[in-house]
Amino acid sequence: MFFLVLCVILTLSNIQNTHKLIEDIEKNRRQELNPNISVDCVIFGFDFDKLNVLVIDRADGSRLPCALPGDLIFNHEHLDHAAIRVLEELTGLKNIYLEQIGAFGDPNRISKESDQSWLQKVREQPQARVVTIGYYSLVKMENYLPQASSFAKSAAWIPVNKITELAFDHMEILDAAKQRLKQMINIRPIGFNLLPEKFTLSQLHRLYEAILDKPLDKRNFRRKIQKLELVKNLKEKQFGVPHKPSQLFMFDGKTYEKLMQTGINNFGF
């Protein structure tokens, strides 16, 4: 009996020591962060109906607004590498191509009382001025299942039009990403990144409406898409759907490359 009790005590002691070691490592690691520069990521996904964005919950028992995945960079890090690291650490998403939106440096961007209260718990210098670099990307939601870690208590896809408040100046960053997305979809067919390999014209039409945040005449939309010859008719139809099966199409990358070489790049609607 004594031996069993001794084993339990030693086991508990080892667990405590391990936890202490992990805490010390994490503390030392956090001290290597640059207190004045961060990265924030706007990750868009499409669910065949709405445009969604990935957000994290920083909840610590209080009702804090959600935030975009973001954190400080390490002093030795390239900005792009920092964005990739932070996104993976907070949400589990990796192998995602990210593009810069721009820099956001309002002196008061982290001054809200609720944000300062949270920063006191996670930052070595919670009141230091922070300039953040925004990034954005478009992904197929079905390929990415968010898994929160680090200070993110949860990570989830939320419809963009349902978001009314975010932490810090993240609403401004989200709005900038939305505007960039609208600009890019008018000069490049980036929306195809959010669709499966085979899709219907109705799905493509709904995607453009979701990104541009306005209704588009279905007949004119289809006419323009087919005139540009950006999609190939696969001579296949949907199956296993509760409605009349629709024709399936595929993005024609070769045609797109030819259009770019000849200078024809107007995909606006």
Pull the structure tokens for residue 166: 């975010």
At residue 19, the pLDDT reads 47
Domain boundaries, the chain: 31-184, 189-261
Return the structure tokens found at 242.
């509760």
CB-based contact 76:65 (threshold 8 Å): no
Q: Is 154 exposed, middle or buried (0-12, 13-18, 19+ CB in 10 A)?
A: middle
Average the pLDDT over 176-193 and give the result: 85
Share of the chain above pLDDT 70, in %: 83
pLDDT at 68: 97
Give per-residue pLDDT as tens, 21-46.
444 455 556 668 999 999 999 999 98
| Amino acid symbol at 96 | I
pLDDT tier at 195, thresholds 50, 70, 90 = confident
Q: How far, in Å, are 65, 204, 212, 238, 269 from residue 234 at the CA level?
A: 45, 15, 27, 11, 24
The per-residue pLDDT for 193 is 77
In angstroms, the CA 194 to CA 103 distance is 26
Task: Give the pLDDT mean for 102-129.
Answer: 90
| Phi, psi dihedrals of residue 21, rounded to the nearest 5° | -65, -45
Looking at the predicted structure, is the pLDDT value of residue 196 above 70?
A: yes
Concatenate the DSSP letters of all residues of 50-117 into one string.
-EEEEEEE--SSS-PPPB-SEEEEETT--HHHHHHHHHHHHH---S---EEEEEE--TTTT--HHHHH
Task: Kindly list the distances between the CA atom of residue 135 and the CA atoms of 69, 79, 115, in Å, as whole numbers in the listed order.
Answer: 10, 10, 21
The CB-based long-range contact list for 151-154 (8 Å cut-off, 24+ gap) reads 151/58, 151/90, 151/122, 152/56, 152/57, 152/58, 152/69, 152/90, 152/91, 153/56, 153/57, 153/58, 153/59, 153/60, 154/56, 154/57, 154/59
Residue 121 has pLDDT above 70, yes or no: yes
Query: What is 189-261's CATH number, 3.50.50.60, 3.20.20.80, 1.10.10.10, 3.40.50.300?
Result: 1.10.10.10
Measured CA to CA in angstroms, residue 130 lies from 80, 108, 114, 184, 237 at distances of 17, 9, 16, 28, 52
Inform me whether the pLDDT recorded for 213 exceeds 50: yes
The pair of structure tokens assigned to 48 is: 């065949």
DSSP conformation letters of 100-168? EEEEE--TTTT--HHHHHHHHHH-SSTTS--EEEEEEEEEEGGG------TT-SEEEEEEGGG----ST
What is the rounded average pLDDT of the residues 208-221? 91
Average pLDDT on 197-207 reads: 90
**Fold: same for 31-184 and 189-261:** no
Residue 268 banded pLDDT, cuts 50, 70, 90: low
- Mean pLDDT along residues 64-93: 95
pLDDT at residue 12 in the model: 61
Fold for 31-184, please state it. Nucleoside Triphosphate Pyrophosphohydrolase (3.90.79)
